[in-house]
Amino acid sequence: MKTYENLLTEKKEGILTIVVNRPDKLNALNKKTIAEIGEAVAEGNNDPEVSGIIITGAGEKAFVAGADISEFSSYSEQEAAALSRHGVEVFFSIERSAKPIIAAVNGFALGGGCELAMACHMRIASETAKFGQPEVNLGLLPGYSGTQRLVQLIGKAKALEYLMTADMIPAVEAHRLGLANYVVPAAEVISKSTEILKKIATKAPLAVAAVIRSVNSHFAYNEDGFETEIKEFGKSFVTEDFKEGSAAFLEKRKAEFRGK
């Protein structure tokens, strides 16, 4: 694996763990860190030994506590728009990853950190985790798709409430709203994420990727999710994994998928 300036990475038992490693800044996202996250996710997707990815933060206080305001406080309108576009593109690469990505939210997930977590396919939160989009406190709005994904996950009315009040969302409430898949003790966020990814790894990789593409197409303005599902369903019938899966079912044995 490549060595990164602001990330730690570890590959173990088919799972790539990406740790945002700026604990002195509560893992705040600067431009370099966002770019490195994109590179690490791409590396995981291109590695045949990797079946799933976990993104988490270093230390016990924060997953990612926001963007690094000191970096962009003097930006022009054009520079700010370019920063936003870059973040949106990297977070799209997470959302569109063919391999499942789980955010192990071990503390504050605020601003860009909340947006990073929402770009992942699932979120496992520690009992002390807090989510939020506090940008209006700075005279801003979320710039890395926060206004879009929060609506998708918890609905328009509640999303507008949290986006406009800047209130934080405690882990238990995040779970109730559908923002967090599970809430677990802090010591178990990685193990719970690993448990889910290992279960997914026993399924057909091409089918998992097709599920991700089909679900994402539901929210894409220029795609018909129903048509995407129909096409993906048809394509699955000519894969070796389908032949193996159907044969294993009929023969009452465990399937051995190869991702082909």
Q: How far apart are CA 136 and CA 125, in angstroms?
A: 24
Is 115 a residue of the active site?
yes
Nearest Cα neighbor of 152 from 219, 220, 222 is 219
Residue of 13, 49, 95, 115 marked catalytic: 115
Q: What is the DSSP letter of 73?
A: T
Q: How far apart are CA 201 and CA 257, in angstroms?
A: 9
> Would you state the structure tokens that stand for residue 87, as one six-digit string?
């973040």
For residues 58 and 22, is the Cβ–Cβ distance under 8 A?
A: yes
Sign of CA dihedral 36, 131, 222, 212: positive
Is 135 a residue of the active site?
yes
Residue of 135, 161, 229, 244 marked catalytic: 135
For residues 149 and 131, is the Cβ–Cβ distance under 8 A?
A: no
> Would you state the structure tokens that stand for residue 29, as one six-digit string?
């996202």
> Would you state the structure tokens that stand for residue 146, as one six-digit string?
């926060």
For residues 141 and 147, is the Cβ–Cβ distance under 8 A?
A: yes
Q: How far apart are CA 67 and CA 56, in angstroms?
A: 15
Residues assigned a catalytic role: 115, 135
